[in-house]
Amino acid sequence: MIATKPAGFEEIAHTADWSLRVWAPDLAGLLEQAARGMLELSGIRLEAGKRIRRRLTVESTDAEGLLVNFLAELLHLLEQEELAFDQYELAVSENVVKANLEGARVAEHKKEIKAVTYHNLKIVKKGAQVEAELVFDV
C-alpha cells in the first residue's frame, strides 16, 4: 500500500495501545499524516461553521522529537480547548516546525489518546519517502 500513495497513514495491529504507520515525501508531510491519522484513530468529527486558526512552533533535538512534540501539542489543544485541525501548513527547518493550522471545535470524540510515545519510534528514509511507526498510549 505504501508504494501506491505518496503520503498517508494506516493503523497497524498493536497488543495494548494503538499504533500507526505514516509515510510521506518529507518530514513536514510525515507530521501532517501523523496528525491526520491520530484524529482518525480518535474518531474526531469537527463542528460545522466557524473555523479557527492557530500557529504553533515546536522544537526538539531530532526529527523523532519534532514528531512527538507536534502531536503532543495537538493533543493538548484537543484536551484543553476541544479544538482539532484538518488543514495544515507546515514548515520544517533544522529542529523546528512552524505550523499554521485551521480547524474547529470538536463535535464528536469517540476514543481518547492519552499520549504519543517514543516506543520503537524511528523515522527512516525508504526510497523517495520517509516513514515512521507511532505508538499511542490509550
**Distance of alpha carbon 26 from alpha carbon 9, whole angstroms:** 14
Condensed to tens digits (0 to 9), the pLDDT of residues 8-40 reads 888 776 566 789 999 999 999 999 999 999 999
pLDDT at position 18 is 85
CB atoms within 10 A of CB 136: 23
Condensed to tens digits (0 to 9), the pLDDT of residues 66-125 reads 999 999 999 999 999 999 999 999 999 989 999 999 999 999 999 999 999 999 899 999
* Among the listed residues 64, 88, 93, the one whose alpha carbon sits nearest the alpha carbon of residue 74: 88
Strand pairing class (18-24; 129-137): antiparallel
Q: In total, how many domains does the chain have?
A: 1
**Does residue 2 carry a pLDDT above 70?**
no
pLDDT at position 138 is 85
**Distance of alpha carbon 92 from alpha carbon 72, whole angstroms:** 17
Q: What CATH number does residue 115 fall under?
A: 3.55.10.10
Taking the CA atoms of 85, 50, 57 and 112 in sequence, report the sign of the dihedral they define.
negative
**Distance of alpha carbon 130 from alpha carbon 125, whole angstroms:** 4
Residue 37: which domain range?
A: 2-137
**Distance of alpha carbon 7 from alpha carbon 90, whole angstroms:** 15
